[in-house]
Chains A and B, each alone.
Chain A
Amino acid sequence: MSAVDTAVAPAAVRTVPAAGTDALRARLTRRLQHGGWFVAPFLTLFALFVLFPIGRGLWLSFTDANISGTGERFVGLDNYREALDSPLLWDSLGHSAYFTLLVVPCIVVLAFLLAMLAHHIERAKWLWRLCFFAPFLLPSTVAGNLWQWLFNPGTGMINHVFGLDTPWLTQKSTALLAVVITTLWWTVGFSFLLFLAALQNIPRHLYEAAELDGAGAWQRMVHITLPMLRNITGLVITLQILASLQVFDQAVVMQDFGPGPEESTRTFVQYTLEEGFTAYRVGYASAISIIFFVLIAAVALGRMWLLRKREEGVR
């Protein structure tokens, strides 16, 4: 029944001007009668757990609400004004952005290289895939604690193996870098999997034809593999940017909930948490969450716009 509806829908929409509004209303009613019940559970949950909290957060950002939820007063744009004036906000935003700048290119290159390796290797394929993907299955607390041990200056394996004497987590110059290294190891598996799936989808006959034409391995890579992976690379970059901007748990675990040496690992999400749950300033924390939401949405939309522009250029 619903399949038939879906099939006729585009035609029905196209004939709207001719059929008039009554006919449209009748069709909409019929479709709601049939499909409404199916989407109702989703819509309810969506409204309850997404729309309502967003709306409530937006309202709270204009109040001086505290954690006990009593006596909130409307303060207009005060929270936003204070947030944009706060050096802590800009510092923490800087750390999140710097982290993103370091992580995203590394993840893309690393995931691509690992995927190529796992795709071309002949023996024990499953072992390579498991090795590269397994860390992604760990909870962030496990990954954070594990690397906290590895980075321990006295007893950790990193200094021992490389013959270093670096206090990784307790000096400003290396603390965020340590979080970056941990994140690469922990999350590269997901992008690796996306690249691997895309590699497996490239038709073999393209390579065979290229080989017949005398193309070498490098030429096949530059003229077939990389162009065929363009879409997936775009997806990986977008997802990684969004995930990296929201960096929080591994950094916090590795610094025992502190802001790191000279506050060098306090990320934007951590700053929000501190304001909301240490200082109990829920209104202010909501305002900085909204600022962050707008920033992230802008990055995601900007990335989409760039992608579309490029696709139009290709056409």
Chain B
Amino acid sequence: MSPPLPSRRGVLGGIGALAVAGSFGLAAANRSASALASDADVRVRYWNLFSGGDGANMIAMLDAFRAANPRVGVLDSTLQWGNPYYTKLAMAASGNRAPDLAVMHLGRIPGFAPGQLLDPWDVRLLAEYGVREADFNPVLWKRAVVDGKLYGLPLDIHAQLCFYRRDVCEKAGLLGADGDLAKVTSPEDWFKALKAAKKAVEGAVHTIGIKADEPNFSWWFFLSFYTQLGGTCLSADGREVTLDTDKATQVLEFLRQHLTDGYSTAIGIADGESFVNGSAFTWEGNWSVPVFSGAKLDYGATPLPPVFGEPATHTESHCFVLPHQSQRGGATNEGAHQLAAYVVKNATAWARGGHIPAYLPTLDDKKYVSLEPQSEYVSAMDHMAVEPSAWFAGSTGLLAQRIGPVIASSNVGSAKPDATARRMKDVLEKLVAMKNPMEGRSAAEGGSAA
């Protein structure tokens, strides 16, 4: 038997009820949207790529800004990190639907068509909100300037670190008198330390996690040690490949030895978990600080060991940018400057996520100095190993995407270090000869090498 059909009146009644309910819903949605801007004179649309601990920190800082500046409404959107983010940002800017303010990696600025997809900062306006060039690490500020104009306002430096467990390292006799990791200055000493640590590690975890198979990390670690050897990838003007294959081979052999000597594995995916479960070391980005602190580990963190002499560790930076708008200006633009200046100046809260603040006065803030292990690795900002300045470089850019897997293949043992070094040179040469799609000139022709 089929169920009785609803009457015509019943159907009409139902549709009417739905319409009424729907209009309530719409009204509610409208109210919440207008509430955002109700007390605010301007509304700043802000895109960022921070999730996890960073995301929570950023939201707390935005709330503080809102409380202090009720006249400026902030409509923030958190988008997925990496290439999807940069694609959306580029397309929004080219389609003239860009947000008023956004975050990006400093290394991506040369490739992001300054002047076309990005608008320059009004330095005078920034100064009015208390942010001046003198307050920043000069290396960072210089990297954000293209053709004499500032395109990125540096927020932080994030570095690759050597995390160590004090309990394990103490047992292995690797701690100095101050309770921190004793300095190691040669590959031989480093592997001696690992040998001692291996004996002290308990359970079925490896001695050190180096993310040997992960393309991005592989590239970052390579760059750190290669810079320690004084190596460069491109000439200063970005037109020529200067990769020294002998030095590169030396670094690749050093990285690979972690696996061949049995201190690490080809499976990098569990490195962080392994550290929590008792590995002596892990090489990770400083954004892992909230994870390890949350796990209540007794641990410390230093820049990557200076085994090849000069200390150097890979760093990138988050910075604020103004995505291109054809009508940029007025109160909204001013609000964007105000918001960015506020976050940059109040970077102590931001540093809780592990990042080193770019705004130098923060480093003297007592609250910052007392942060552990943050204060232990501040020196990373004095020895930055950064990607070459080119349109294809920068976090998760084309260079990392092409060269990272090549390095990883040597790390895990399926390609020989010297052959890998030659392949790396080949990758760089192809990229240097490749036309920058945003301006039609290759790096070899002088395109976008800041």
Contacts and interface: CB of A to CB of B under 8 A. Distances in A.
A167 B434 CA distance: 35
A68 B438 contact: yes
A66 B437 CA distance: 5
Contacts of A74: none
Interface stretch (B24-32, B172-180, B256-264, B407-415): B407-415
Contact of B414 (A67, A153, A172, A277): A172
Contacts of A257: 82-84
Interface stretch (B13-21, B36-44, B220-228, B267-275): B267-275
Nearest to A66: B437
Interface string B280-303: 000000000000000000000000
B215 A67 contact: no
Contacts of A281: 437
Contacts of B91: 67
Interface in B391-440: 392, 397-398, 401, 405, 408-409, 412, 414-415, 434-435, 437-438, 440
Interface string A263-275: 1000000000010
B94 A68 contact: yes
Interface string A57-92: 000000011111111010000000000000000000
B398 A262 contact: no
Contacts of B213: 170-171, 261
Given A67-B87, A69-B94, A262-B405, A170 B267 contact: yes
Contact of A280 (B215, B414, B438): B438
A53 interface: no
Chain B, interface residues (CB within 8 Å), range: 35 or more
User: Interface SS of chain A: helix, strand, loop or mixed?
Assistant: loop
B444 interface: no
Contact of A67 (B90, B270, B408): B90
Nearest to B93: A68
A307 interface: no
B270 A261 contact: no
10 contacts: A66-B438, A68-B90, A68-B116, A68-B117, A73-B440, A167-B266, A263-B405, A278-B398, A278-B401, A280-B90
Given A262-B415, A280-B90, 14 more contacts: A64-B437, A68-B116, A68-B438, A70-B116, A153-B267, A170-B213, A170-B267, A171-B213, A171-B412, A172-B414, A261-B405, A261-B408, A274-B401, A278-B401
